[in-house]
Amino acid sequence: MEGKLGSAIAVTILAAVAIANSSAAQEATRTPLDRVQSVYGLSVDPADDATLLLGTGYGLLRAMPDGMAEIIAPPRAAVIGLAANPNEPARQVLIGVGENGVSVGLFTLESNASGWTAVPGTDGETGVALTSLSVSRLDTAKLAGLDKTIHLSEDGGLSWTSLETTPEKTISVELSGTEPSQIFAATMTGLMVSHDNGQTWQASYSGEAPATAVASLSGGRVAAFIYRTGLVMADEATLDWQLVGTGFKDRYLRVLTEDPSSPGKLYAVADTGAVLLSRDGGASWTSFESNDLAEPDRIAAGETLYADNCASCHGAGGIGENPEDPSAKDEFGFKAPALNNDMHAWHHSDAGLRATIREGSPRNERMIAWQEVLSDEEIDSILAYVKSTWSIRSLACQGARHMACMEQ
């Protein structure tokens, strides 16, 4: 299983350059978010805290709760590294790789979000092409990034030093938020920590399960994702790790970040490329797509609407029609499918599910068009309720991503 995970991570990282080399990938400026599966970094959009910036193989994207993403800059580079300044979230840094596979360099975003400025000397054949960018909370001129080794910069990215002592099979690197010489490394053999600026390393979390992401949080905390275990968190002073989020099954997180304006809100990128959101410090998760609908009152209203209009066919709680008899069919050769995790509702995007509810199904006359019965707001509430019954795995595999999930 660990070998399979390692191969998946390697393929994901290499895909950035492959996508950047495809000019066709740059032709569309807007795309459904579920079709963006190569995501290497994320941050809260300084221009609008309801949207996110995603570093992807297609460039820098703005992701919106309506399930769409748009390319904003740079137009022809795979953004393989993206990080926000923890002290000034509007100041961000990114690293891109161009269509020729050569680094386009390090860029910084001005505090007024007016545009990106290239850092001199960081592009070209001798430039930097680093994933897992990290900006220190203690000294924002200190950066870390990763290729085959961890690289450190003390001058805002103008120059970099490679750590030959990098732990083997490092996946993610993060600078400490409390100790100037402390660095965390998520590796295929566990979570590591260095207390001497990367010269020596020790295991930080017990066990040898792969650690796939690590992030410094506000309040002197640090979080990491341990494969087949879940999200763990600790105070950096003690590194007494506590399990805070489970239910990921065979899925894992590749990127993790905190909303700078709301410390309890975390964003993450799953291995599928899906963007996930937690409003309770990582204990529970929903998809970023339609997260503005995932409010308790809306879900409760949706549950009532579902019971009144949908349960007679799709079953209480979305268990489907005649779940005890898999071969049961109606007069049209179908039966109402389960809408929970048991079948394929999560194979469809939010937009696709809304369209089916509004317009009905051309395959089965029993699935009528509900747009004359239910308002758009009521349909959104039903969708919010249905998605609240899904597991993290279903949320991570929703829409176009489901094919890759089914192959694993």
Q: Compute the average pLDDT of residues 135-163.
A: 96
Who contacts 62 (Cβ-Cβ below 8 Å, separation ≥6)? Answer: 45, 51, 52, 53, 54, 69, 70, 72
Residue 202 pLDDT: 97
Contact (CB, 8 A) for 244 and 225: no
The whole-number pLDDT of residue 208 equals: 87
Q: Give the pair of three-digit tokens for residue 175.
A: 């600078």
CATH topology of domain 293-407: Cytochrome Bc1 Complex; Chain D, domain 2 (1.10.760)
Instruction: Please count the CA atoms within 13 angstroms of the CA of 30 that sit on its side-chain side.
Output: 4
Nearest to 308 by CA among 370, 390, 352: 370
Average pLDDT, the chain: 90
Residue range 159-206, pLDDT digits in tens: 999 999 999 999 999 999 999 999 999 999 999 999 999 999 999 999
| CA-based nearest residue to 115, from 138, 90, 136 | 90
Query: What's residue 408's pLDDT?
Result: 60
Question: Which of 216, 242, 215 minimizes the C-alpha distance to 229?
Answer: 242
pLDDT tens column, 350-408: 999 999 999 998 888 889 999 999 999 999 999 999 999 999 999 999 999 998 887 66
42-100 pLDDT, tens digit per residue, is 999 998 989 999 999 989 999 999 999 998 866 578 999 999 999 999 999 999 998 88
Q: Identify whether the C-beta of residue 259 lies closer than 8 Å to the C-beta of residue 84.
A: no
Helix (H, G, I), strand (E, B) or coil at 43: strand
Helix or strand holding residue 258 (H, E): strand 253-258
Of residues 235 and 24, the one with the higher pLDDT is 235
Q: Say yes or no to pLDDT of 19 above 60.
A: no
If pLDDT is split at 50, 70 and 90, which confidence band does 326 have?
A: confident
Listed by start position, the domains of the chain span: 2-289, 293-407
Assign 101 a pLDDT band (cuts: 50, 70, 90).
Answer: confident
Q: What is the pLDDT of residues 274-301, one digit of tens each?
A: 999 999 999 999 999 999 999 999 999 9
Class of the 2-289 domain? mainly beta
Give per-residue burial for 271-286: e unless 16+ CB within 10 Å, then b: bbbbbbbbbebbeebb
The alpha carbon of 179 is separated from its chain's Cα centroid by a whole number of angstroms, namely 27
The amino acid that residue 208 corresponds to is E
Closest CA to 133 of 163, 111, 112, 157: 157
Terminal CA-CA length for the chain: 11
pLDDT (average), residues 99-104 = 88
DSSP 345: G
Antiparallel, parallel or unpaired: β 275-278 and 103-109: unpaired
